[in-house]
């Protein structure tokens, strides 16, 4: 394999504990440590809000790294993603938020499945800001998305009018195209809800999610088990950002409700 993979990292430089440089370096290090690096070339494009600059950081050896800022008047996660995506040159697109990171075989497994499917996503191990496990989540978070560049161009850029459910909106358009999807889950995932998972973290796995998720996928889509016991995407929960803010901020909760109703009107459901 000699293809170029564009790794898109939207970095809002959001408020959170620790150093922005260290958060970013952890994400970059996980990209540089991918097992696929011996067979594929990687470029990393960091998308920023207008007027922002990357904090000082270590650049991974052998990987092209550049940043691009949104145009004036554009701001938010969707805008940061779009700015970086517009600058991507790879045959494949992979997304990684700057406070998340990948296990070393994430891209290898995802690119292998793209030989059979149109789009790949992954379950994730959610951790707190101290990197302590909280739970396993089966929602297809963008940090697990891998796809051909041509598929992304067919579906289009993120809708910048969405602040909280931009991923659901994009997945709604993807599902309308009836693309065959693969969702990679850990080896011990309870694909059969009647079978318990006899492993150390089984209490972290939300067993009720997978059947509902399968019902929302287009025909021909599949759950595929990874050979690894831990999800290949590690997602950090920022207590002050994203969906977490809806639990303590009335304005954020109202915005989430409004966006969900838009999704239901446009796609018939909040798409996964």
Q: Which domain holds residue 80?
A: 4-267
- What was the pLDDT predicted at 193? 42
Q: Which uninterrupted H or E stretch holds 31?
A: helix 20-32
Q: Per residue in 87-124, pLDDT tens?
A: 999 999 999 998 899 999 999 999 999 989 999 999 99
Q: What pTM was estimated for this model as a whole?
A: 0.88
Residue 169 has φ and ψ, to the nearest 5°, of: -65, -45
The dihedral built from the CA positions of residue 115, 116, 118 and 124, taken in this order, carries a sign that is negative
| Domain total in the chain | 1
* 181-185 β-sheet, strand order: 64-69, 41-48, 4-10, 92-95, 146-148, 119-122, 181-185, 222-225
Crossing angle between the packed helical segments 250-267 and 166-176, to the nearest 10 degrees: 10
Is residue 272 one of the residues assigned to a domain?
Answer: no
Residue owning tokens 């994203």: 242
Say which DSSP state 146 is in.
E
Which tens digit of pLDDT belongs to each residue from 165-175? 999 999 999 99
Q: Is 45 helix (H, G, I), strand (E, B) or coil?
A: strand
Residue 257 has pLDDT above 60, yes or no: yes
User: Is 181 inside any structural domain?
Assistant: yes
Strand runs labelled E in the chain: 4-10, 41-48, 64-69, 92-95, 101-102, 119-122, 124-127, 133-137, 146-148, 181-185, 222-225, 233-236
Tokens standing for 24?
A: 């970013």
Confidence of residue 140 (pLDDT cuts 50, 70, 90): very high
Secondary structure, 3-state, 221-272: CEEEECCCCCCCEEEECCCCCHHHHHHCCHHHHHHHHHHHHHHHHHHCCCCC
Q: Which residue reads 């938020």 in tokens?
A: 97
Check which CATH number belongs to the domain holding 27 and give it.
3.90.550.10
Residue given tokens 């800022």 in the structure block:
69
Task: Say if residue 154's pLDDT is above 80.
Answer: yes
Is 157 a member of any domain? yes
Q: Binning pLDDT at 50, 70 and 90, where does residue 241 land?
A: low
Q: What pLDDT, in 10s, does the model give residues 13-41?
A: 554 455 555 678 889 999 999 999 888 89
The tokens for 163 are: 């602040």
């Amino acid at each position: 394999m000699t293809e170029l993979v564009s790794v898109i990292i939207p970095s809002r430089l959001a408020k959170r504990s620790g150093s922005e440089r260290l958060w970013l370096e952890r994400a970059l290090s996980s990209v540089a440590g991918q097992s696929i690096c011996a067979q594929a070339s990687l470029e990393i494009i960091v998308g920023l809000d207008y007027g922002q600059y990357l904090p000082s950081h270590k650049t991974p050896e052998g990987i092209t790294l550049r940043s691009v800022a949104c145009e004036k008047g554009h701001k938010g996660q969707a805008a940061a993603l779009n700015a970086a995506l517009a600058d991507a040159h790879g045959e494949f697109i992979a997304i990684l938020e700057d406070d998340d990171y990948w296990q070393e075989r994430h891209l290898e497994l995802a690119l292998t499945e793209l030989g059979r499917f149109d789009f790949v996503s992954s379950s994730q191990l959610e951790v707190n800001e101290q990197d302590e496990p909280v739970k396993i989540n089966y929602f297809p978070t963008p940090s697990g998305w891998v796809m051909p560049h041509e598929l992304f161009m067919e579906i289009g850029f993120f809708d910048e009018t969405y602040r909280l459910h931009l991923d659901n909106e994009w997945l709604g358009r993807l599902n309308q195209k009836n693309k065959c999807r693969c969702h990679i889950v850990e080896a011990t995932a309870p694909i059969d809800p009647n079978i318990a998972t006899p492993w150390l973290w089984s209490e972290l796995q939300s067993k009720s999610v997978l059947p509902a998720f399968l019902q929302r996928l287009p025909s021909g889509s599949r759950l595929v088990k990874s050979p690894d016991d831990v999800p290949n995407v590690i997602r950090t929960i920022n207590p002050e950002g994203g969906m977490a803010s809806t639990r303590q901020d009335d304005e954020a909760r109202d915005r989430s409700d409004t966006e969900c109703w838009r999704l239901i009107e446009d796609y018939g459901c909040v798409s996964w």
